[in-house]
Structure 1
């Protein structure tokens, strides 16, 4: 067998926590609370997202089990191979690769979106065209492109520099959110009263909570970047579970705080227009003034930068692992001669996402919404695989005995299936829109075409050979 490429072990625990947390918290935590409150009410939005964090923690148990047993790049791609074989491994990797790459693109466009709010006269120059109601201007295309290229370069340079930056960005983000939360709660005369009605009129609490719970895979996608980094841990893989839990706890509190800031500062119908496009920004501006807007802008920028950095890292490691596992061309597993990073995968992600900045944000959101299906599929295979490698009773065939973890893995698989059903079942309150369904079908067709083209080359490798390339197992 040919040589199996491996990555350098240079990631510290604090950097891995920052990758998970920073990737989970992006622009949505600051831009979307007004939409969530309108849809589910303050209580529905808070409960839905905090409950989503708890569900993700159930799923994280399975990640902890598998990272400890198989600390390799590829994460869910490797786990799907372990439990369901190479075809499902390809399907899982195919959907995840798209999802991760699209989040890189969405974060880059979010940076331009923020600048549009802060400096509209500058950003709304040199109008180009309109796509799906979104007006595209040249400055946003240039700035989003530069953001993609900058973080591609940082990732090629290696984990040392990008890991330190990720941790610093994450700490600054948390400080910014804490300042806004404490100030606005103290500023409000009756913060709890201001949050009424807790749920929208005419909508039951259960439906309100489910609407928000359904977006949990999207809201918390990023904690699953940890297994993509597992091969580069400079510490015991057994610590991964604790780092994931801490990242989810921090993410849930950030989401809840920003919903609180948007709902408890002023009573509905007073001081600010609660139908405004960016309600959170108006509320911070009205209560906190220019200083508050600066704090909010810094927090958003940190969220965007951590998302760009984290998903560049995870998407490139996924492509590297799929290439090493013979499901993608060898090009993607080439390592930089100096930095030992999968630099060609990083360059590919940059080249793949650069055209997206010309599409307009609405068209990009359709694709990202669709990618929630792929994330949920990845969660399912992680939980299913953990269920398979754990035993109810005493050790048999080398399986670890842990009936509690096995039960939680089963629950995680059920939750993952629920997320998929909420997105695709007609009549579901969280059903994907028609454009997202069309994007999903297009990606399925492309994946089927690509898999058919590589299958002849792929099928010549035995299970033992693929186990070596994907999992590092030597028979």
Structure 2
């Protein structure tokens, strides 16, 4: 049997927290509040995202159980193997890889969107074409591509460097959001009144909240980067659960604050200098001036960089783990001779995301929906696996006895399926748009092609061999 490849253990707790928090925030907290307020109202958006954070915390209980027991790269890919076998583990891993890689593309494109707002005369040169009403220019394509390639190079250099930078970026991001939140609330004459209408005028309050809640798997995807990094912890995996909860708490507060900044600073219709390009940016400029725009730009850059860095790391570790388990070609599990990183997986992620920068802002929203599907599948199998490894009572000595956690795992699985229904069911208020469906089908076809290329080897693997390659053990589960 081939020897199982291993990664270097050099990630500190603060770096892992930063990977989870920074990945959860990304660009959406700063770019999308205007869209969320339009869809659900300010209070509807805040409630939807805070409920989403609470639901993710329930799901995180299952992650805490499984990371402590199985601290290996692959995360949900490994957990699906535990709960449903190797076929479902491949499906789960491939859908999760979709979610992760989509968000690398999202953050790279969002960086160009920021520059397009700050330096329109430079960014709006060399017009190329229009997609879904969005004009695409050559500078945004070049800059987004360069950012993707830079963070790929950074990740090839090792988890120590990328983890340290992730922590610094996260602290700067939180400081920037705190300054903007406090300043704009004090600046506004009637902040709570300015937030009206609290819910979307064309929807009930319940539907308003539900529309935003359906985006929670995307909004908070990033806390589940922790199990992808578990094999590289230099500390006890028992700490993982508390790090996840702290990251979700911080993420929820950042989302709520940025929606508040966008809603409470001016009354509806009273925003000076509105450009209709980016509502939050217009509001910060009108209330805070150039200094505010600088703070906002720095915070967004930190969010984008933490998202790029975190998901570049996690997607490459997931592909590495799938390849190590013989469910993807060996190419993906090749380790760098100096840095011991899965460098070919990292460059695959970078190269695969490069075409996305040619599709403009509307494509960002298509990708949001598509990535929510991938991570919802992964959440379900994680909760299902945690449910299976826990026991209601002490009759089975091989399993941890914890009826409360077992109940929460079952609840998390139900919530995960609910997210999938909201995204896929015809007539759902959060149903995927046609472009998202098409992209999803393309990803499924690509996964089938990869599986076909290794199918004979994959089919021949015994359960014991899969346990070794995925979990690093032979013992019965």
Measured against the shorter chain, the TM-score band is over 0.9
Contact 1:268 1:274 in 2 (8 A): no
Show the 5 A alignment for 1:98-117.
98-117=98-117
Show the 5 A alignment for 1:6-405.
6-272=6-272, 276-394=276-394, 396-405=396-405
Unaligned runs of 5+ in 2: none
Q: In the superposition, relative to structure 1, how do residues 445 and 152 fare at CA in structure 2: closer, same or farther (>3 Å)?
A: closer
Unaligned runs of 5+ in 1: none
Post-superposition offset of 1:364: 5.0
Q: In the superposition, relative to structure 1, how do residues 116 and 275 fare at CA in structure 2: closer, same or farther (>3 Å)?
A: closer
Deviation sequence 1:140-175 (CA, Å, 0-9, x none): 111111101111111111112111110000000000
Contact 2:103 2:371 in 1 (8 A): no
Post-superposition offset of 1:277: 3.1
Contact 2:8 2:232 in 1 (8 A): yes
Report the Cα distance in structure 2 between the residues aligned to 1:427 and 1:175, rounded to whole angstroms: 41
Report the Cα distance in structure 2 between the residues aligned to 1:358 and 1:203, rounded to whole angstroms: 34
Q: In the superposition, relative to structure 1, how do residues 381 and 9 fare at CA in structure 2: closer, same or farther (>3 Å)?
A: same
Post-superposition offset of 1:447: 2.5
Report the Cα distance in structure 1 between the residues aligned to 2:372 and 2:342, rounded to whole angstroms: 26
Report the Cα distance in structure 2 between the residues aligned to 1:450 and 1:142, rounded to whole angstroms: 29
Structure 1 residue ranges, 4+ long, deviating more than 4 angstroms after superposition: none
Q: In the superposition, relative to structure 1, how do residues 217 and 442 fare at CA in structure 2: closer, same or farther (>3 Å)?
A: same
The number of residues matched between the two structures is 475
Deviation sequence 1:321-349 (CA, Å, 0-9, x none): 00001001111111111111111111111
Contact 1:367 1:440 in 2 (8 A): no
Provide the secondary structure at the position in 2 that maps to 1:459. Answer: helix
Deviation sequence 1:235-263 (CA, Å, 0-9, x none): 00000000000000000000000011111
Provide the secondary structure at the position in 2 that maps to 1:136. Answer: strand
Report the Cα distance in structure 1 between the residues aligned to 2:439 and 2:317, rounded to whole angstroms: 24
Post-superposition offset of 1:198: 1.3
Query: Please, what TM-score do these two structures have when normalized by structure 1?
Result: 0.97
Residues 442-451 or 381-390, more deviating = 442-451
Residues 196-205 or 207-216, more deviating = 196-205
Deviation sequence 1:400-434 (CA, Å, 0-9, x none): 00000000000000000000000011111111111
Q: In the superposition, relative to structure 1, how do residues 337 and 251 fare at CA in structure 2: closer, same or farther (>3 Å)?
A: same
Contact 2:329 2:453 in 1 (8 A): no
Post-superposition offset of 1:368: 3.9
Report the Cα distance in structure 2 between the residues aligned to 1:133 and 1:271, rounded to whole angstroms: 24
C-alpha RMSD of matched pairs (Å): 1.4
Deviation sequence 1:184-237 (CA, Å, 0-9, x none): 111111111111221122421111110100000010011110000000001000
Residues 131-140 or 94-103, more deviating = 131-140
Post-superposition offset of 1:453: 4.0
Query: Please, what TM-score do these two structures have when normalized by structure 2?
Result: 0.97
